[in-house]
Amino acid sequence: MMKFRRLDLFCRVVDNYGDIGICWRLAKQLVREHGLAVTLYVDDLASFRRICPVVDVAAERQLVDGVTVRHWRDQDGVYTPAEVADIVIEFFAVDIPPGYVDAMAQCEPRPVWFNLEGLTAEEWVEGCHRLSSMQPRGLTKHFFFPGFTDKTGGLLREAELAQQRLQFEPAAFLSQLGLTPAEIAATKVSLFCYPHAPVAALFDAWRQGDAPIACLVPEGVAADAVRAFTGGDGGAGTVVTRGALTVRVLPFVPQPDYDKLLWACDLNFVRGEDSFVRAQWAGKPFIWHIYPQDENLHHKKLRAFLQRYAGELPHLADFALRWNGAGNGAADDWRALWAALAAESGAATTRAEAWQQQMLANGDLAGNLLSFAATLR
């Protein structure tokens, strides 16, 4: 018997689309697969609309795909205990409005309160996952960490994802995006990265290569390199071929279509947290551009992941380190790096599939979170 009926999720958009991307996925899954009534409080509806175009940026409250979405404007609201959900999640340690916390403290029993943390492959996570932290007025907060082992909360994954991928027809999807038969027949690479990635050098290597490459870039991504290569403004719909490389600029697609793009490509460059996880579920080789942090903390996180994932893929690891400015040595020869990576592509595909099975065994984050919540009541 399900102990919980309602769940509130608080999301602050710090940067880009990953914060809302993750919260939106989780909220939908909790409604669809677990029958919870979910309210998503989010402070930036414009970012939300980029990944989910039906969102109304002017609405204080709206129902989207079964999730109640509330515009979280400030910290001033007054809340009653009746408004408080059975489970409350703060994403990435955001400060829930004090009025809401007051109302939580008046509830009997108290709601189950989680801080849902960011994803990292570092070992310390296992020691912190599920730890509790006493809060004033009889409240307790628990840390919940996504992760890559069975001692963490696992990764977000919808139950129907594998089936959807199985039924997916890549050629039809790619021609809907405007790709020509020649581009569909080429090695297809999706490119999603931060502005500091060495894209121009990679384009140069691809251009000079022997095998045709179709690089699919969402509008606004790697904008300088795309403009330099295409000689135009790099708007959606731009397609330019030089040498062996065709660069095609795609519109920023709704979140479910981004999954399909990953499934359809032979290699995916991804970034942040959410696209990084989706690339893993795509079962295709990928290169991760990690979100940069002060004092190169992200390099440590990148190495921790590569150690788990790419032990048997030295060229993929090397390429990923250099893509992130974490490689050893002087100037990078991207032609040689690409040739080494391409030579490893069979092993990288096998590894991507095996990794997927390994991750499946850890359960999915939403299910793991609810099972843990049930032990707290």
Annotated catalytic sites, by residue? 19, 273
Looking at 66-148, which runs of residues are DSSP E strands?
67-71, 87-91, 112-116, 132-135, 139-144
Q: How far apart are CA 3 and CA 371, in angstroms?
A: 10
Report CA 231 to chain centroid distance, whole Å.
31
Q: Which two tokens stand for residue 35?
A: 């029958």
In the complex, least distance from residue 137 CB atom to ligand TRH, rounded to whole angstroms: 30
Cis peptide before 314 (omega within 30 of 0): no
Closest CA to 141 of 166, 116, 165: 116
- 31 vs 51, beta carbon nearer ligand TRH: 51
Q: Which two tokens stand for residue 357?
A: 């099975």
Judged by the rule CB under 6 A, the positions of this chain that interact with ligand TRH are 14-19, 21, 51, 192, 218, 252-255, 258, 271-276, 291
Please, which residue, 90 or 273, has the CB nearer to ligand TRH?
273
Start-to-end Cα distance in the chain? 13
Nearest distance from residue 25's CB to ligand TRH, in Å?
Answer: 7
CB of 162 to ligand TRH, least distance (A): 19
Backbone angles phi, psi at 335, to 5 degrees: -65, -45
**Smallest distance from the beta carbon of 59 to ligand TRH, in angstroms?**
20
Residue holding tokens 């080789």? 285
Q: Which is nearer to ligand TRH, 16 or 135 (CB)?
A: 16
- Tell me the C-alpha to C-alpha distance, in Å, between residue 285 and each of 132, 164, 341: 37, 19, 10
Is residue 9 within 8 A of residue 26, CB to CB? The reply is yes
Cβ nearer to ligand TRH, comparing 23 with 112: 23
User: What minimum distance in Å lies between the beta carbon of 254 and ligand TRH?
Assistant: 6
Distance (Å, whole) CA 293 – CA 295: 7
Residue of 341, 345, 281 whose CA lies nearest to 317: 341
Return the ∠ at Cα 376 (arms to 372 and 377), rounded to 5°. 125
Residues 6+ apart with CB under 8 A from 260: 168, 173
CB of 344 to ligand TRH, least distance (A): 24
Least distance in angstroms from the C-beta of 243 to ligand TRH = 25
Nearer to ligand TRH, 120 or 246 (CB): 120
C-alpha–C-alpha distance, residues 337 and 315, integer Å: 7
Q: Which is nearer to ligand TRH, 255 or 280 (CB)?
A: 255
The length of the chain is 377
What whole-number distance in Å separates Cα of residue 313 and Cα of residue 245? 25
Nearer to ligand TRH, 229 or 276 (CB): 276
Pairing of strands 187-191, 67-71: unpaired
